[in-house]
Structure 1
Amino acid sequence: MQQDPDHRALAALLDWYVESGVDLALDEAPHDRYADSARAAVAQRPQAMDTRAPPIPLQPQGAESPRRAAAPIAAPDEAIRAAEQEASSARDLDDLAARLADFPHAPFRDMAQHFLFGAVTPDARLIAFDAAPGVTEETSGEAFSGLSAKLLDNMLAAIGLDRTSASLAYVSPWRPPGDRALSPHEAAIFAPFARRRVELARPDVLLIFGEAPARIMLTTNEPVGKLRGKAFEARCGAHVARAFVFSSLEAMLKSAALKPAAWRDLRRVAAALQERC
């Protein structure tokens, strides 16, 4: 049966809502959510007890994210400032993972099934940053387990590294709805946690895959195409690491034409690791 134009338009609108992460229908009356958030904060001030969840393992393979009540909505700048304060308070990587998992203003926190901090190797000299888990990781509950992760494993093997000698990290530990790219505001909320991770882990070299990780680690708005083929100094708190930017892993899977340039950059990475021995 052929649908009339109104039905097709409604179906297209619902698809757009799903891709945008809309998961709750509101009534037609407008609400001042910032005022609601302020009232909730005032109501919580008399409570002196620490309600933060206990620390969780760095890599809770297969563990589902606990379902929480929706957090009060914060203004964009307030959410970023809260993220900076929370990340800077982390004492070590375990504490950072726990604080990020419990951060109420984190995008996708209450929509994704799994919290995936990454594949952590203590004292690794190299950290590879991807934007977020994909559908394979979301389904399995295992970080870096999809096709893009296999490509990353092959890239590491090309310079003599593997998961026992390198750490793999996500900017967002939760899969975005529809595997869409992180918006600039979402990346800005995750940025303090990602930079604090580098400051605590103190790697010599960063491999940066795609736009959101590059924007965060290099504090730049330049497109990835202008950043490839160069070495950068990534300053994360008190630590400075040598950084190299690559096309996203997904882009390299789709276009073999990007791989020769990636191979040339990997040779520069190997040289940088050798220099810092």
Structure 2
Amino acid sequence: MTPDPAPTAQQLLAFYLEAGVDCALTDEPVNRLADPDAAAPPREAAPAQRARTVPATIPTARVEAAPAPEAAITSAREAARIAPTLEALRELLEKFDGCALKHTATRLVFADGNPKARVMFVGEAPGRDEDLEGLPFVGRSGKLLDRMIAAIGLDRSKAYIANVIPWRPPGNRTPTPQETQICLPFIQRQIELVDPDILVTLGNPSTQTLLSTREGIMRTRGRWFDYDTGTRVIRAIATFHPAYLLRSPSYKRMSWQDLRAIAKALEQVSP
């Protein structure tokens, strides 16, 4: 049997991109198949030197440098609470080092649209296109979102768009619960500062995180919730994430019903 030809570098890169591997986390490649015991053992130190050399191999500084999740969440709450404006909140996020996603993302994806808009859309996290441009919803799902809001007379000059997580997870993986909790105070403060008449959560993760529900999107979409900022109660509604609609276009009809409900609510609430 003739063996299959080895893939070319271009074919390998295409495979990695399709699998979601589109960013490098280290400067040098790591051979994880190599036998760690294959390397030649170091020369044994003299007895008088052992006491001095062994402790030096313990990476105590690296362990101490990693912030505990509880400390990162507390730091996020304190930082978000003192932000007087959206611009100040953005600057705080640029300097915040409590979330590890910041160190693997290309840039911060804060928001897009009109900060004085009456309706605010919140998704889960940026994707590859958003990470490159620094704006939320600019890829295929963003183009669909633009068409969705245009159908009810809105565009990005009349809406405000953000995500619960402002940094792209590597390979578009799902954010961990700890990462979500660390970023939660910032999006909560962002909603409070925008102070929209209507909050729209896009998809299951942002709906469960912001509206404090464990029900799935099939049961929450189209329903109205009360979102309490502490100073005001905002009407909130959940609908499908545009990325989900791209994979399951049969649900666009339900999404259209949700959009019509949003348009009707905007008419009923005086500016």
Structure 1 pair 33–273 and aligned structure 2 pair: CA distance change class (3 A): farther
1:159 to partner: Cα distance:
1.3
What is the RMSD computed on CA atoms of the aligned residues? 3.0
Please, which of 182, 185, 197 is the counterpart of residue 175 of structure 2? 182
1:227 to partner: Cα distance:
1.0
What is the distance in 1 between the residues matched to 2:234 and 2:210?
Answer: 10
Equivalenced residues, count: 231
Contact 2:99 2:182 in 1 (8 A): yes
Contact 1:214 1:245 in 2 (8 A): yes
Structure 1 pair 20–149 and aligned structure 2 pair: CA distance change class (3 A): closer
What is the distance in 2 between the residues matched to 1:21 and 1:184?
Answer: 23
Q: Specify the code of the residue in structure 1 equivalent to 2:226.
A: E
1:34 to partner: Cα distance:
9.1
What is the distance in 1 between the residues matched to 2:198 and 2:72?
Answer: 29
Cα distance per residue 1:183-221 (max 9 Å; x no partner): 222111111111111111110001111222112211223
What is the distance in 1 between the residues matched to 2:126 and 2:139?
Answer: 9
Structure 1 pair 270–177 and aligned structure 2 pair: CA distance change class (3 A): same
Contact 2:198 2:236 in 1 (8 A): yes
Contact 2:110 2:135 in 1 (8 A): no
TM-score by length of 1: 0.74
Q: Which residue of 2 aligns with 1:276?
A: 269
- Does 1:266 find its partner at 2:259? yes
Q: Which residue of 2 aligns with 1:120?
A: 113
Structure 1 pair 142–218 and aligned structure 2 pair: CA distance change class (3 A): closer
- Does 1:166 find its partner at 2:159? yes
Q: Which residue of 1 aligns with 2:74?
A: 81
Where in structure 2 are the equivalents of 1:78-117 lying within 5 Å?
Answer: 78-117=71-110
Cα distance per residue 1:54-113 (max 9 Å; x no partner): xxxxxxxxxxxxxxxxxx322222211111111111111001111112111124101111
Where in structure 2 are the equivalents of 1:178-217 lying within 5 Å?
Answer: 178-217=171-210
What is the distance in 2 between the residues matched to 1:139 and 1:181?
Answer: 18
What is the distance in 1 between the residues matched to 2:69 and 2:61?
Answer: 12
1:142 to partner: Cα distance:
4.1
1:224 to partner: Cα distance:
1.8
1:33 to partner: Cα distance:
7.5
Contact 2:25 2:104 in 1 (8 A): no
What is the distance in 2 between the residues matched to 1:91 and 1:34?
Answer: 34
Please state whether the residue corresponding to 1:264 is helix, strand or coil: helix
Structure 1 pair 275–222 and aligned structure 2 pair: CA distance change class (3 A): same
Q: Specify the code of the residue in structure 2 equivalent to 1:138.
A: D
Residue ranges of structure 2 left out of the alignment (5+ in a row): 5-18, 31-35, 38-56
Q: Which residue of 2 aligns with 1:55?
A: none
Structure 1 pair 145–243 and aligned structure 2 pair: CA distance change class (3 A): same
Residue ranges of structure 1 left out of the alignment (5+ in a row): 3-15, 37-71
Q: Specify the code of the residue in structure 1 equivalent to 2:75.
A: A
What is the distance in 1 between the residues matched to 2:210 and 2:24?
Answer: 26
Q: Specify the code of the residue in structure 2 equivalent to 1:208.
A: T
